[in-house]
Amino acid sequence: MTLEHCLILSAVLFCIGLFGVLTRRNAIVVLFSIEIMLNAANLNFIAFWRYSENPTLLHGPLFALFAIAVAAAEVAVGLALVIAVYRHFKTVDLEKLDTLKEE
Amino acid sequence: MSLQITFWILATVAVSGALLAVRLRNLIHGVFSLMIFFGALAGMFLLLMAEFIAAVQILVYIGAVGILLLFAIMLTERVAEDGGRRISSRGSFWGMAAAIAVFVALLLPAIRQTDLPKTAQTVQPSVEKLGQQLMDPYVVTLEVMALLLTAALIGAVAVSQGGKPKNEDEPK
Amino acid sequence: MSFELIKDILLATVPLLVIFPSLFAFTTWMERKALARIQNRIGPNKTGIPCTRIGLFGLGQPAADGIKMIFKEDIVPRGADRLFHLLAPILALIPAMLILCFLPLEFPWTKSMQPIHAFLLDSAVIFFFAISGLATLAIFMAGWASRNKYSLLGGMRAVAQMVSYEIPLVLSAVVVVMGAGSLSAEKIVQEQNFLWFVFTPWGFAAFVIFFIAALAETNRSPFDLPEAESELVAGYFTEYSGFKFALFFLGEYIAMFAISGLAVVLFLGGGNGPGAGLHPLLDPWVPVVWFIAKIFGLIALMIWLRGTLPRLRVDQLMAFAWKFLMPLSILNILITGAALHLLADGRLEALTRRPNHLYKMIEGANPAMIGVLWIGSFLILYAAACGLDNLNRPGAKPRNYKYAE
C-alpha cells in the first residue's frame, strides 16, 4: 500500500465524480457527485500527510477537517436551493431549468 | 500483508459504491450506495492512521449529509412511481470519455512523474495535538469556519422558507 | 491473518455477544414486570417451566416471546422494496452492537494476555456518537421500504427526533471531555477514580441533559411517538413481523444498553467503585460487576420513566430539543469553561499539565468555595431554564385541575 496506490484510487474516485457531474440531469445527483469529488480530495490530503516527513504537524487531518466542514455547509445550502427551485418550477431536471437562456 | 488485503477490499467497495451512486436510477438506492462509499472512505482514513478524521467522516457525511440528501430526495421527487420512460442522463458516452481523458491524460502522468516519498513514519494518533494545533496556529481558520457554518445555517433556513406570503384577496 | 489475531479478536468480542443479549432477555422480563406493577397489575407470571404449572414469576417469558417470533410468518408487502425491507433490521442492530465494543469493559481473561479489549481507540467518544448516528439511517430505511403512509410518517418523525436530539447529547459530552482532557474512554474512566463527574455541578446538569437526550435517541418514552401504538399503528415497524421485528426490538434494547454504558463511562465513573481490595481472585471482576450494575441502574430509571410520564407530541418534542436543551447545554459548556479556568487559578497551562483538577475541588478548596460554586452554577442554570421557558411559552401558568367529586 504505497502512496501511489492511494493517489491512483483518489484519482479514480475523482473521475467517477466528474462523470456524474457531467452526465446526470437530476440536480441532486450532481450534488452527490460533487461530494464524491470532495471526498476524493480529502483522501489525497490524508495520504500525502501520512507519507510526509513530519507527520506530527498534523497538517493533513486539519485540512481535511476544514474541507469536510466546508463541504457539509455547501451541501446544506445547495439542497436548500434545490428545494426552493423545486417549489417554483416543480422539477429538478437540469435540462428544463432554462429560463435564463436566450431564445 | 493484511494491510494490503484491507486496502484492496476498501478500494473496491469505494469505487463500486461511487459508480453505483452515480449510475443508479432509483435515487434512494443511489444515496445508500453513496453512504457505503463514505463508509469505505472512513475505513481508508482509519488505515492511514487518521482516526479523528475517520470518526468525523462518519459523523458528518453518513450521519448528517446523507440524511439531508435523503430528505431532499423525498421532498423533490416522486420516486415511487416509475411510470413512463424518463431519461436520467444524456450524453453519457461523451461524459465517460471526458472523465477517462482527464484521468489518463492529466492525473495519471502527474502521479507517475512526481517524486513520491516511499516510506511512512510511524504516527501516534493523538487528538490532543490536533486540538492544540487548532487553537494555536490555526485559530483564525477555525473562527472563519464557524462563521461560514453559521452563515450556511441561516442561509439555508432563509432560502427554504420562501418569499413573502402571497396576498390572495388582491383586486385584479 | 494469523491464528493468534483471530483468537484475540474472538476472545474480546464473543463475551460481549453472549452477555448483552442475555441481559436483553432479562431486561424485557424486568420491564414487563416493572411496568405492570407501576400500573397496578401483575405482569407475566405463568410462563415458567414448560408443561408444568410452576410459573417462576414469569421468567420464561423472554424465551416464549423469542420462540413465538421465530415461528411467525414473514410478510413483506407487495410493492415494498425487498432489499431494504430485509436490510433495515440488520442495519439497526449493527451500530448498537458495534458501540458496545468501545466501552472500556475489561474482562479478566484478557488481562492475562497482552491488553486487548475490543477497540482501543484514542478518540473513542467521537466514534460512539458517529456510529450511533447510523441507527437513524436504519429507521429511515424501515419507514421508506414498507410502502405505507404510516410507516413513512413514523420514520420521518423518528429521524427528525433522533437528529435533533443528537446535538444536546454531544454538547453535554463535551463538558466531560473538557474536564477529563481526553477523548479516550479509558482515560475518562481513570480521571474519575477520585470523584465521579456527576458530582460536579456542571457534570450533574450535563448528566441530566445527556440522559434526556439518550431517552430521545433510543425512542423510549416519553419520546416514543414514532413507535406509539395509539398514534401511528406502531409507526415505522408496522409492516415487520416475526424475526425482523425481533431484530428491531433487540437492536433498540442493545442501543439502550450502549447509551447507558456511555453515560456510565462519561458521568458515573464506569467501573470505579468500592470493594477493590478485597480478594486477589475477585479483584479483576469488581470493575466489570460495577459497570453492569450501573448500567442496570440507568435502565431501571428508563423503565420507571416509561411507566410514569405521558408521551410528548411531536412539535413539543422538537421545541424541547431546539429551544430548551440546546441553549442550556451551550450555557453549560460556558459555565464549565469558566469554572475550570477558576479552579486552575486562571492559568491555562495548569489545565493541560495537571493532576486531577477535581482534587482541587475537594482538597485545596474550602467548603465555602465549593458551596458557592454549586449554588452559583445551579442558580445560573435554573435562571436560564426559567428564562427559556418564558421565552418559549409566554404567559403559561400552571394548570388547576378539576377533579370529579
Q: Where are the domains of chain A?
A: 3-89
The neighbouring-strand residues paired with A26 are A93
CA dihedral angle for residue B78, residue C93, residue C186, residue B133, rounded to 10 degrees: -20
The reported pLDDT for the residue numbered A93 is 82
Of B157-171, C182-196, C276-290, give the lowest mean pLDDT range. Answer: B157-171
Cβ separation A9–B14 shorter than 8 A? yes
Q: Is B148 on the interface with A (CB under 8 A)?
A: yes
- Is domain A3-89 given the CATH code 1.10.287.3510 in the classification? yes
Half-sphere exposure of B5 (CA within 13 A, CB side): 3
Tell me the chain B residues in contact with residue C148 when contact means C-beta distances shorter than 8 Å: none
The three-state (H, E, C) secondary structure of chain A, written as one string? CCHHHHHHHHHHHHHHHHHHHHHECEHHHHHHHHHHHHHHHHHHHHHHHHCCCCHHHCHHHHHHHHHHHHHHHHHHHHHHHHHHHHHHHCCCECCCCCCCCCC
Query: Which pLDDT tens digit goes with each residue over C287-345?
Result: 888 888 999 999 999 999 988 888 888 888 888 899 889 999 999 999 888 877 776 65
Average pLDDT, chain B: 83
Average pLDDT, chain C: 80
Query: Which pLDDT tens digit goes with each residue over C179-236?
Result: 887 788 888 888 787 778 888 788 888 999 999 999 998 888 788 777 665 555 666 7
The neighbouring-strand residues paired with B116 are none
Q: For the residues C147-169, what does the mean pLDDT come to?
A: 85
- C-alpha grid cell for residue C391? 421565552
Q: Which of B32, B51, B58 sits opposite C131 (nearest CB)?
A: B58
Cβ separation B88–A25 shorter than 8 A? yes
Q: Phi and psi of C396, rounded to 5°?
A: -85, 130
The neighbouring-strand residues paired with C140 are none
Tell me the chain A residues in contact with residue B30 when contact means C-beta distances shorter than 8 Å: 29, 32
Tell me the chain B residues in contact with residue A94 when contact means C-beta distances shorter than 8 Å: none
C220 vs A69: CA distance, rounded Å: 32
Does the pLDDT value for residue C82 go beyond 90?
no
**Residue B169: how many CB atoms within 10 A of its CB?**
4
The reported pLDDT for the residue numbered B85 is 52
- Can you say how many angstroms the Cα of residue C303 is from the centroid of all Cα atoms in its chain? 12
Cβ separation C123–B80 shorter than 8 A? no
Q: Which has more confidence, B131 or A31?
A: A31
By residue count, chain A amounts to 103
Does the pLDDT value for residue C45 go beyond 70?
yes
Q: Which has more confidence, C11 or A73?
A: A73
Whether this prediction's pTM lies above 0.80 is answered by: yes
C213 vs C12: CA distance, rounded Å: 30
Does the pLDDT value for residue C358 go beyond 70?
no
To the nearest whole angstrom, how far is the Cα of B172 from the nearest Cα of chain A? 22
Q: Tell me the pLDDT band of C363, cut-offs 50, 70 and 90.
A: low
Q: Is C126 on the interface with B (CB under 8 A)?
A: yes
Tell me which residues of chain B, numbers 100 to 119, contact chain A at a CB-CB cutoff of 8 Å. Answer: 100, 102-103, 107-108, 111-112, 116-119
Largest Cα span, chain B: 79
Q: Tell me the pLDDT band of B167, cut-offs 50, 70 and 90.
A: low
To the nearest whole angstrom, how far is the Cα of A63 from the nearest Cα of chain B? 10
Q: Is C127 on the interface with B (CB under 8 A)?
A: yes
C159 vs A89: CA distance, rounded Å: 28
Q: Which has more confidence, C349 or C168?
A: C168
Cβ separation C126–B55 shorter than 8 A? yes
The neighbouring-strand residues paired with A93 are A26
Q: Any residues with CB less than 8 A from the CB of A84 and at least 6 apart, and which? A: B159, B160, B162
Q: For the residues B139-153, what does the mean pLDDT come to?
A: 92
Cβ separation C126–B63 shorter than 8 A? no
Does the pLDDT value for residue B35 go beyond 50?
yes
CA dihedral angle for residue B6, residue B9, residue B15, residue B21, rounded to 10 degrees: -110
Does the pLDDT value for residue B16 go beyond 90?
yes
Cβ separation A50–B156 shorter than 8 A? no
Q: Which of A1, A47, A62 sits opposite B4 (nearest CB)?
A: A1
Q: Which of B58, B67, B128 sits opposite C159 (nearest CB)?
A: B67
Chain C's closest residue to B36, CA to CA, is C134
Q: For the residues C1-9, what does the mean pLDDT come to?
A: 72
Tell me the chain C residues in contact with residue B131 when contact means C-beta distances shorter than 8 Å: none
B78 vs C19: CA distance, rounded Å: 45
Contact B67, C136 (CB under 8 A): yes
Query: Which pLDDT tens digit goes with each residue over C102-128?
Result: 888 777 665 544 444 445 677 888 888
C3 vs C11: CA distance, rounded Å: 12
The three-state (H, E, C) secondary structure of B103-151, written as one string? HHHHHHHHHHHCCCCCCCCCCCCCHHHHHHHHHCCCHHHHHHHHHHHHH
Q: Which has more confidence, C301 or C404?
A: C301
Q: ipTM higher than 0.85? A: yes
To the nearest whole angstrom, how far is the Cα of A103 from the nearest Cα of chain B? 22
Cβ separation C130–B128 shorter than 8 A? no
DSSP assignment string, C188-242: HHHHTSSS-GGGSHHHHHHHHHHHHHHHHHTT-TTS-GGG-HHHHTTGGGTT--T
Chain B's closest residue to C123, CA to CA, is B52
Query: In chain B, what percentage of residues exceed pLDDT 70?
Result: 87
Of B16-30, C25-39, C264-278, C357-371, give the lowest mean pLDDT range. Answer: C357-371
Chain B's closest residue to C144, CA to CA, is B28
Query: Which pLDDT tens digit goes with each residue over A8-43?
Result: 999 999 999 999 999 888 889 999 899 999 999 999
Q: Which of C103, C84, C136 is nearest to C257 (CA)?
A: C103
Residue with cell 485540512: A63
Query: Which pLDDT tens digit goes with each residue over A77-92?
Result: 999 999 888 888 888 8
Of B144-148, C76-80, C343-347, give the lowest mean pLDDT range. Answer: C343-347
Contact C61, C31 (CB under 8 A): no
A72 vs A77: CA distance, rounded Å: 9
Q: Is the pair C, A in contact (3+ CB pairs within 8 Å)?
A: no
